[in-house]
Homo-oligomer: A and B are copies of this chain.
């Protein structure tokens, strides 16, 4: 039997063929006018993709590198910062700010939930230097309300820098970066922008640039001020990841092309695509008898569901791979075995969603021994899609 490998993971996501070919063709030197033209074009596109007038920078690193840059460039040892954590990536913020000597006020929510705004308000202090959170907590497939956090910041600690890990939030969430005052918004290449891992990008507000001058934490490779100075000339401070940048340009061209060449509209369509596929997937998996892991604030980047008591989500992950070559994500850390996650961010379409749900029906029936009527999950997804297509 032919089985095409299909990634349904929240990073890496399926590669855009046009980006793959652009990467293969990227046989250029990075200190030439050709590269400078490419780099400036991609940086300009990224501003539209992020949706901001702020500078957007590219770094040759994974998303975690840009998270580190957002700590090392903006804080000094002993600074008070607020960290919001409700999953493995929130915990990464806690580890990072501690690694750079910050005094961390931590607001937690249980896995699968988002924060109580009252708890955030109580934890914000007038001397809070920065706030760190995820827009979408990938490990639990939960959305956090960035706009609400920004409003609380304005109210209680207006000087605080708002740093948002949008690694799976970008391309799956409608942000008003400048309107809400998001000072740093971080993205990664292997997510909504349809290329392999290896690049991070982040927008930086004027307020964040000013704060950097006061920061006493050490940084060299991730010195954002150096990157900004070079970016103006169309260069990177250190050797850039040339092929990934070429691929990123092709992917942003594709996203624009989906809306007649208008990248802003293309970004909005991409977000709506993720929202519709996420809603269809939730409907399908619930129709099969799974419980949403994050029912109150589900992410559009991925959907996490709990397997019934006594069953192991690892069996679902393994069987989908061995029977259909479809790759989904298990739970991370203590959630392993309890939940599985199906992604919608980036180069996924509705037919991917129904294909995955049809495969999941076989697994639910044959592996988990659930009472499955064939077509149930697919039909539930079809109803959601039909409604969305009407709108």
Contact = CB atoms under 8 A, between A and B. Distances in A.
Interface of A: 1-4, 6, 21, 24, 258, 269-270, 272-273, 276, 323-326, 347-352, 354-356, 358-359, 361-362, 366, 373-376, 378-379, 382-383, 385-386, 389
A273 B2 contact: yes
Chain copies in the assembled complex: 2
Nearest to A356: B351
A258 B351 CA distance: 25
**Per DSSP, are chain A's interface residues mostly helix, strand or loop, or mixed?**
helix
B2 A347 contact: yes
A382 B354 contact: no
Contact of A2 (B258, B355, B359, B374): B258
A198 to B, nearest CB: 19
A371 B379 CA distance: 14
A323 B388 CA distance: 13
25 contacts: A1-B258, A1-B269, A1-B273, A1-B349, A1-B350, A2-B258, A3-B349, A4-B347, A4-B351, A6-B351, A24-B24, A323-B389, A324-B350, A324-B351, A326-B351, A354-B354, A354-B358, A355-B358, A362-B386, A374-B375, A374-B378, A374-B383, A375-B375, A375-B378, A378-B378
Contact of A375 (B2, B276, B379): B379
A375 B348 CA distance: 21
Contacts of A21: 24
A2 B361 CA distance: 24
